[in-house]
Structure 1
Amino acid sequence: MASDPSIVAFIVEQIAAAGEVAARPMFGEYGVYCDGRMVALVCDDRLFLKPTPGGRAFAGSDGAAIEEASSYPGAKPCLVIDADRWDDADWMAEIVRISAAELPLPKPRRAKSPKG
């Protein structure tokens, strides 16, 4: 089941204060980027944040347990951000900002060689 574009737009709006945020369609779902780094996936209307030490610490700082699950079969586990948290824009932006700071920038793509 593909994610609802309005849910993706809402999540992007909620984390906009984290930096330069965008969502891109990927394989029927969405990748969420912050400052050029892929920080999360939205799959089946669920938000899966890439796990980082800082993100885990921040997520558990209020004593709430954070679920980890794979966004699709065979994927590495991610932090599942409950929809109950989505309304707290400050919390959402902060966990994304923390996580993005700990993730590497993507490797530059090689230029395609001209066909000759």
Structure 2
Amino acid sequence: MATDSDFIDYIHEQAGLEERLTHKRMFGEYGIYLDGKVVAFACDNSLFLKPTDAARVLLPTVTSGKPYPEAKDYFVLDEYLDDSDLLRRLLQATADAVPMPKPKPKASRRAVQRGAAKAPRKRTDKPAR
């Protein structure tokens, strides 16, 4: 079952982090970003928080689960979604604990020129009629 957009809206509303909290479709579900860092995944209408020591301090007894079969375990926050203050603190603590994503390398000037210079080739293997 895919995650409903209403569930994503609810997470945004509950967290109260305004434009700092964003989401992006990933793998048919959603990645949740805080200040440009992936902090959680929303899969099957459940929220999976990246496991960090900082979040574990706030949730000493948290359930773990996999957002998708090949994934490592994440903290499952379903029972904490109604606690806006705790949700906000968990997302912030996780964002503080994870590094910024590495910037994607820019395409070299040569690669850009090569890409623009490639024109579609005419097929020469068939005789003209």
- TM-score normalised by length of structure 2: 0.80
Runs of 5+ consecutive residues of structure 1 not aligned to the other structure: none
Alignment partner of 1:110 is 2:105: yes
Percent identity of paired positions between Structure 1 and Structure 2: 36
8 A Cα contact 1:12 1:23, kept in partner:
no
What SS does the aligned partner of 1:75 have? coil
What value does the CA root-mean-square deviation take over the aligned residues?
A: 1.5
Equivalent residue for 1:13? Answer: 13
Name the CA distance, whole Å, in 1 between partners of 2:16 and 2:95. 13
Alignment partner of 1:97 is 2:80: no
Larger radius of gyration: 2
Alignment partner of 1:50 is 2:57: no
Structure 1 residue 19: deviation in Å?
7.4
Runs of 5+ consecutive residues of structure 2 not aligned to the other structure: 118-129
What SS does the aligned partner of 2:59 have? helix
- TM-score normalised by length of structure 1: 0.89
Alignment partner of 1:30 is 2:25: no
Structure 1 residue 88: deviation in Å?
1.2
**Alignment-mate amino acid for residue 42 of structure 1:** A
Name the CA distance, whole Å, in 2 between partners of 1:30 and 1:57. 25
Aligned length: 111
